[in-house]
Structure 1
Amino acid sequence: MTKRHMSKLIHEGVYVAEVDVELLYADEGWSPYLSLADAHKLDEVREALRREDVETASRLARVFKLTPVAV
């Protein structure tokens, strides 16, 4: 089994979180996949952003606020 680090983006409302996760590659089954801990981390960040709890989301990810660009 091999592992590769990457970032997943989660967009909720005016926030985007960049969450570091580890993808697991295996010879059998569906590959690549996330560990259970990383899947829970993504869910926790998503729920925190829905509640607009930036402090909690910031503990697990890098959080950005989107602002519209006037043209």
Structure 2
Amino acid sequence: MNKKNVLKIIREGDYVAEVSVELTYSDDSWAPYLSVVDAQKLDDVRETLRRGDVEAAAQLARVYRLTPVFA
């Protein structure tokens, strides 16, 4: 089994969060996969952004606000 740290991107409304998680690679058909803890972390970040609690999301991930650019 190999493990690799990657950034997953979550977008909710005007916010984007970069969440660091660990993917596990193996020879079975479900690879790569997340641990239960990392999957819960993604869900927690998504839920906090959905509620508008950016401070709580920022404790788990890097959070950015999207701003429209008009050309």
Give the whole-Å Cα distance in 2 for the aligned partners of 1:36 and 1:29.
18
- RMSD (Å) for aligned C-alpha atoms: 0.6
Deviations 1:35-55 (A, max 9, x none): 000000000000000001001
Aligned length: 71
Q: Counterpart in 1 of 2:34?
A: 34
Structure 2 unaligned blocks of 5 or more:
none
SS in 1 for 2:70: coil
The amino acid of 2:12's aligned partner reads: E
Q: Runs in 1 of length 4+ with deviation above 3 angstroms?
A: none
TM-aligned CA deviation for residue 29 of structure 1:
3.4
Deviations 1:1-30 (A, max 9, x none): 110010000000000000000000111231
Q: Does 1:69 align with 2:56?
A: no
Identity of aligned residues (%): 62
Structure 1 unaligned blocks of 5 or more:
none
TM-aligned CA deviation for residue 59 of structure 1:
0.3
Q: What pairs with 1:7-26 in structure 2 (closer than 5 Å)?
A: 7-26=7-26
Give the whole-Å Cα distance in 2 for the aligned partners of 1:50 and 1:28.
34
The amino acid of 1:19's aligned partner reads: V
TM-score, normalised on structure 2? 0.97
